[in-house]
Amino acid sequence: MKGTFLFSLLTAKAISTALRVTKLSGGTSIIGKIVLKICPDFLTHANKYINTKINITGTNGKTTTSGLISHLLKESGNSVINNALGANMIQGVVNTLAVDLNPLKKYSYSVIESDEAFLEVIYDKFEADYLVVTNLFRDQLDRYGELATTKKFIQNGIDKGFNNKGEKPVLILNADDPLVASFTGGKYKIYYGVEEVIYAEGLKPSESHTEEAFNCPCGKPLNYNKKFYAQQGHYSCECGYKRPEPKYKANVTLYKDHSVLQINGENYEVPLVGLFNAYNALGAITLCKELGIETEKIQKSIKTFKVAFGRSEVKYLNGKRTLIQLIKNPIGANEVLKTVDLDSNLLIIINDNYADGRDVSWLWDAEFEVLNPTPQSPHARGGEAQKEIIVSGSRANDMALRLKYAGVDTDRIKVISDIEKAVDYIGKSADNNITILPTYTALLKLDKMKNLKRK
pLDDT per residue as tens, the chain (455 positions):
678 999 999 999 999 898 888 766 655 688 999 999 999 999 999 999 999 999 999 999 999 999 999 999 999 999 999 998 778 889 999 999 999 999 999 999 999 999 999 999 999 999 999 999 999 987 544 444 467 888 999 999 999 999 999 999 999 999 999 999 999 999 999 999 999 999 998 777 755 554 555 678 788 889 999 999 888 999 999 999 999 999 999 999 999 889 999 999 999 999 998 899 999 999 999 999 999 999 999 999 999 998 877 777 889 999 999 999 999 888 888 888 988 888 899 999 999 998 888 889 999 989 899 888 665 455 555 455 578 999 999 999 999 999 999 999 999 999 999 999 999 999 999 999 999 999 989 998 998 898 998 87
Q: Which of 359, 409, 418, 431 is catalytic?
A: 359
Q: What is the pLDDT of residue 387?
A: 87
Number of Cβ within 10 Å of residue 292's Cβ equals 7
- CA nearest neighbour of 96 among 32, 150, 144, 159: 32
Residues 6 or more apart whose Cβ sits within 8 Å of residue 220: 237, 238, 239
- CA nearest neighbour of 229 among 254, 252, 206: 206
443: helix, coil or strand?
helix
Q: Answer whether 264's CB lies under 8 Å from 248's CB.
A: yes
Widest distance between CA atoms in the chain: 69
pTM: 0.86
* Burial (Cβ within 10 Å: 0-12, 13-18, ≥19) of residue 22: exposed
343 is catalytic: no
> What DSSP state is assigned to residue 134?
-
